Amino acid sequence: MKIYEGKQHWIENFDYNEFAEKYFKLSCEGQRGFIDSMDISTNPKWLELKRGHLGASTAKAFLADSQKVSAMKKTKGWKEATEEERNNMLTEIPVEDRLGDTCKELAFKLLAERRTSWVEPEASWSEKTSIKRGLCFEQFSEVIYKKLTGLDCVDILFFERDELLGFSPDKLVNDHGKKVALEIKNFEPPAYYKAILGMEKPETIAQIQMQIYIGNLDRVDLLYTSFEDNSYKLYNYMRDEEFMKAFERREKEFKEYLKLVENSINQEIKVVK
């Protein structure tokens, strides 16, 4: 396990007080344009560390089972089986027939990053605007978290579990010896209200539990804040051992499949000389 401290993104010469004073004088469209006009800088070291790793945002795809395994898990035999019996049932199926299509797709992307200069396309305009919004309101959110918990947090560039898995939380918190990651979400009001009413996408839970698995964390604190509504909602997600077992099993399967695919590629291709 390696932990790298530092900022992933930042806005040059940003002054929070100046920003806040101007922001509330603008219309809704003016506020969006104001945020969008800011230049964002990305840490090249962060991009380097991410390359060749699967992050927590892949959790849903990473855990996806094949149709064959999904069907098996609905049977009476599976439901009544012990954990050891379930593991035996799975290992009787070839690894390539255990993983879902979205999980397999991750293997091809990962190999492309490791073997060539290929990278995922840049973030879309909406994703970049979301990052900028988060950076603008980061200080607002940190003040709220400090008032709620009394805990200090530090910027984290990257958690590297091993050669396969890594992720980038917003902050790392030391809660009296407990290792906690802080995720901050500052959405526009409609999305904010939807999130705090528990209508967040189901894959969010899997993503948070994958963060806990990768970073060997005790919990993840998820803080929703609204600058416009001047309010917040804090969720505390504890370590779920069932998720941990699922991630551990899938990590082993994925590494096996990755090696299988790379060996097959090496047998099929001819290098240009």
Three-state SS letters, 9-48: EEECCCCHHHHHHHHCCCCHHHHHHHHHCCCEEECHHHHH
Query: CA–CA separation, 211 vs 227, rounded Å?
Result: 26
Tell me what pLDDT residue 122 has.
Answer: 67
Tell me what pLDDT residue 223 has.
Answer: 95
Three-state SS letters, 209-232: HHHHHHHCCCEEEEEEEECCCCEE
pTM of the model: 0.92
pLDDT at 10 over 90: yes
* CATH tag, 2-48+137-241: 3.90.320.10
Domain ranges of the chain: 2-48+137-241
Tell me what pLDDT residue 82 has.
Answer: 95
Could you tell me how far CA 4 lies from the centroid of its own chain? Answer: 16
Tell me what pLDDT residue 233 has.
Answer: 94
Element (H, E) at 178: strand 178-185
Query: CA–CA separation, 239 vs 211, rounded Å?
Result: 10
How does pLDDT run across 17-62, given as a tens digit for each residue?
Answer: 999 999 999 999 999 999 999 999 999 999 999 999 999 999 999 9
Q: Reduced to 3 states, what is the DSSP secondary structure of residue 157?
A: strand
Q: Reduced to 3 states, what is the DSSP secondary structure of residue 58?
A: helix
Q: How many CB atoms lie within 10 A of CB 85?
A: 12
